[in-house]
């Protein structure tokens, strides 16, 4: 199947609707029928403001996170429509991909 890999970049302490933004993205993707999504925690990074974000022993709120999902074109439009409706400003990378499952059930 042809679709998109979408990577959303955030930090652990960023919240939306009483949960971390990364968790909110995962649950929203599931509700929209997107086949799967993964949260990846990073040890350090920086964004457009050039501020270093990192995981500290006592404070993880600034830990960089990436939410990666693979979606059909229709599903991709749905997640971006939801982000617009919720007024969420979020850096992303969207890449065309081929995806599928190997093996037999």
CATH number of residue 56's parent domain: 3.30.70.120
Q: Please state which of the ranges 3-12, 38-47, 70-79 shows the lowest mean pLDDT.
A: 38-47
pLDDT for residue 13: 85
Q: Is residue 24 part of a domain?
A: yes
Give me the domain span that covers residue 56.
Answer: 2-98
Q: Is residue 105 part of a domain?
A: no
Q: Is residue 104 part of a domain?
A: no
pLDDT for residue 105: 77
Q: Is residue 103 part of a domain?
A: no
User: What average pLDDT score do residues 54-82 get?
Assistant: 84
> What are 34's two structure tokens?
């997107």
Q: Which of 60, 46, 13, 87 is nearest to 23 (CA)?
A: 13
Contact 39, 26 (CB under 8 A): yes
Residue 67: band (very low, low, confident or very high) from pLDDT cuts 50, 70, 90: very high
Q: How many domains does the chain have?
A: 1
User: What average pLDDT score do residues 19-25 get?
Assistant: 96
């Amino acid at each position: 199947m042809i679709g998109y890999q979408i990577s959303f970049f955030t930090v652990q302490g960023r919240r939306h609707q009483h949960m971390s933004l990364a968790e909110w993205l995962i649950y929203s993707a599931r509700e929209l029928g997107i086949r799967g999504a993964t949260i990846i925690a990073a040890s350090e990074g920086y964004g457009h403001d050039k501020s270093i974000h990192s995981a500290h022993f006592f404070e993880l709120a600034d830990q960089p996170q990436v939410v990666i999902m693979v979606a059909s074109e229709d599903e991709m439009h749905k997640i971006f429509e939801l982000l617009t409706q919720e007024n969420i400003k979020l850096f992303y990378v969207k890449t065309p991909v081929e995806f599928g499952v190997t093996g037999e059930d």
